[in-house]
Amino acid sequence: MPDNAPGTEILDLSTAFPPVSTEEWEAVIRKDLKGADYEKELVWRTDEGISVRPYYRQENLQPLGESVDLAPGQKPFTRGGGHAWLEAQSFTPPPDAIRADSLHESGATAVQELAFALAEAVEKLQRAIDAGVPVQSAAPTIQFVYAVGSNYFFEIAKLRAARALWSVAVQAFGCSDPKAAVTRIHVRTARFNKSLLDPYTNLLRVTTESISAIMGGCDSLTVEPFGFDPHLALNVQRLLRDEVHLDKVADPAGGSYYVEALTNELAQAAWKLFQEVEGLGGHSAASSFISQAITKSHEAKTKALATRRKTMVGVNNYPNVNDQFVELSAAPSSETRLAEPFEKIRERTAQHIRLTGKAPKVLLLKRGDPKMKIARANFCLNFFACAGFQLVESDTYQATDADRIVLCSSDPEYVDLAREVCAAVKTIPVFIAGNPKAQISELEALGVRGFIHVQSNSVETLTAWQNDLGMRPLE
């Protein structure tokens, strides 16, 4: 066959895809932004106080030095031990385990989980050393239990950072055996982000959480069923092992510019917070500080869900109005979950339907600008369906038996539309989908009762609507 025969060419990818500098990428991005704020549009600022860039390159790993090139099993053990995880569906943590999972279930950020768990473990290690136990004997007896949630890459990086932090802490005690600084981590799927509604979305959640745990290098894993059959929980691990083959690769996230950089940022932020706890006298002495920090984080997460700055599928967005509540055989009474405020709203509506035989009906009156009326009606469909209300879409209000009417149109058209509708349906409260600030006073003077928009606190708004509709408090 001739050297130049079709299909025999040698591809030179270095010439086909010449290198592009970061400066060149940034120039194209800023051009595409057309003057929009780069930091506001493209940088994600997380609950942990970490700024996540829109992309990462090899240069982002320069602060890590040679640690990126270490093999699994080498300190600081960021890349894990190089062995597959154990399926532990009936795992019972030792009574003296470091329960970082409890921090997660209380609403702590990933940085807080890492820092406060490390502080507790260091205090425990110090007590053992003070009792005469050598550090290389005491350190391996300490086991960590972490919970993983839905923040996929952060959970991977969290477990990788946990091993690095513990390795550094143990080495600081003068441990002569590097293997004694290996972190023993059991992981379970979280309950904090689960809902009593839509159990199969919970099943999807534990699947991504399990992948995070495995890719993060857990030693053992428990998938907790939450409203779905325990057999499915076990099958999640079987699928990831026997069909996805995640047990065949050690540290599959290793070398990822994003995951490596994120691991380092979490570790650095957690170490700083750990030092703050140590400055207060250690874990026990800083209990009040730790409690206040977690409470603040929990409140921030709850508010973010209520204002829909964060989405919980099926709970505060994309609800299925036909969902039924599931009963849990062993729901921990001491824990709170993010979905609870929405679950109570949904259950209150269900109670109202049982008592009256009628679901509250909301008419979404769509008029005018095609794009805006559809967008605002879709927003309202999600917003009010989260409360279990019945939604009807129409371009007419005549002969409606709705309890509330929400006008869905464009801002310039609202005054004329409100003038017509409010005068015609004097017994039915009328609301506006949107926040036309320049027209609010005029619209209220015409009889508009309120405004539903992206800045609305859905928990407060839906509760107020339920009160106004005369719904009984939950029994």
* 243 pLDDT above the threshold of 60: yes
Q: What is the mean pLDDT of residues 67-93?
A: 88
Helices (H) and strands (E) in the chain, counts: 16, 12
Token digits for 116? 């406060």
State pTM to two decimals.
Answer: 0.92
- Please tell me the predicted confidence (pLDDT) of residue 4: 64
Residue with tokens 């030092």: 275
**How confident is the model over 187-220, as pLDDT tens digits?**
999 999 999 988 999 999 999 999 999 999 999 9
Taking the C-alpha atoms of residue 153 and residue 473, their distance in angstroms, rounded to an integer, is 40
Instruction: Spell out the domains of the chain, with CATH numbers in brackets.
Output: 73-306 (3.20.20.240), 344-468 (3.40.50.280)
Question: Can you say how many angstroms the Cα of residue 390 is from the centroid of all Cα atoms in its chain?
Answer: 29
Greatest CA span in the chain, whole angstroms?
Answer: 87
- How many other CB atoms sit within 10 Å of the CB of residue 33? 13
Residue 297 carries which side chain, given as an amino acid letter? S
Looking at 72-81, 172-181, 404-413, which range is the least confident one? 72-81
- Please tell me the predicted confidence (pLDDT) of residue 415: 97
* 396 pLDDT above the threshold of 90: yes
DSSP result, 347-396: HHHHHHHHHHS---EEEEEE-S-HHHHHHHHHHHHHHHHTTT-EEEEES-
Taking the C-alpha atoms of residue 342 and residue 195, their distance in angstroms, rounded to an integer, is 9
**How confident is the model over 311-329, as pLDDT tens digits?**
999 999 999 877 777 766 5
HSE of 56, CA atoms in CB hemisphere, 13 A: 15
Taking the C-alpha atoms of residue 357 and residue 289, their distance in angstroms, rounded to an integer, is 50
- Please tell me the predicted confidence (pLDDT) of residue 73: 86
